[in-house]
Amino acid sequence: MEVRKLGNAGLEVSAIGLGCMGMTGMYGEPKDRDEMIALLQAAVDRGVNFFDTAESYGPFTNEALLGEALEAVRDSVVIATKFGFNLKSDGVRGQGANSHPDHIRKVAEASLQRLRTDRIDLFYQHRVDPKVPIEEVAGVVGDLIVEGKVRYFGLSEVSPATIRRAETEQPVTAVQSEYSLWHREPEAELLPTLEELGIGFVPFSPLGAGFLTGQIGLETKFASNDIRNKDPRFTVEARDVNLVLVELIQSVANEKKATPAQVALGWLLARNAWIVPIPGTTKLYRLDENLGAVDLTLSDSDLRRIDEAAVAITLKGEQLPEAALAMTNG
């Protein structure tokens, strides 16, 4: 497995990580625990060393799952988790943002216990808390780093201005945001800022929540508790328009003897050496498919052709609203 560095901080991770949110819900019912433990361990066997979780996934159960699955190989993996929401002990979500310093410390201690570890490799603020200055947030994470409980500081879904303010208190190692051929907003301002500051980028939903795999059509139905039911891009009307992008990716995949998922991930990997996507899956064959993107070569002419064709496609539906994200904590 190819290894990449997230920014200038020296954090080395596998070129493709594993997003673990879907293992404990969000895209329907939670999956069988033993099967997910086996999948996580299979990922390690295949060279994946970068695993993404959050206290809000489940809530809480996702971190516990990773803690059990990865305890025996803890020193050879990088675990990223997140803080930033109020979550009740009974698992109720949608209680609003909370990045007060005392809360961050409580989350860190609880996450350490669930993850069965003595340090969090990458600790992200999950969403900006408008009530707490980002400098204060960065400062308390910096204190946790000094104490050895956290190794690196990350931010999720933030503006360049917020990143620059955070950097005045504590270097930011990685920023996580939605990015794919389906959602290219980070290209305007975020990616240039990260390159300038030497910060790594971790695209979540790099396969468009499954849409770019080519496995979702007009007739696809989602479970009642699937987050995609809230996403404007997944209405039947939007899918009818957006499938044109999938057809483009499929045409390239046919030429390369690859799959649409591999082309979508390969496109991301080719953007820059400090970009590390974290596709999620609950199936071993999909894990193997995704990891195959590392071996896919897209030439400069391939990339130009994809970009030129993609730019000409007008997609339908806005990104999942922030209000919905707050309710799902995804």
Catalytic residue ranges: 57
Tokens of 204: 């979540």
Find, among 231, 203, 233, the residue nearest to 293 by Cα. Answer: 203
Residues 6+ apart with CB under 8 A from 276: 4, 6, 13, 14, 15, 16, 17, 50, 200, 201, 202, 203
What is residue 126's DSSP assignment? S
Tokens of 97: 């943002």
Residues 6+ apart with CB under 8 A from 272: 191, 195, 201
In this structure, are residues 40 and 51 in contact, taking their beta carbons and an 8 Å threshold? yes
Neighbours of 56 (CB within 10 A): 29
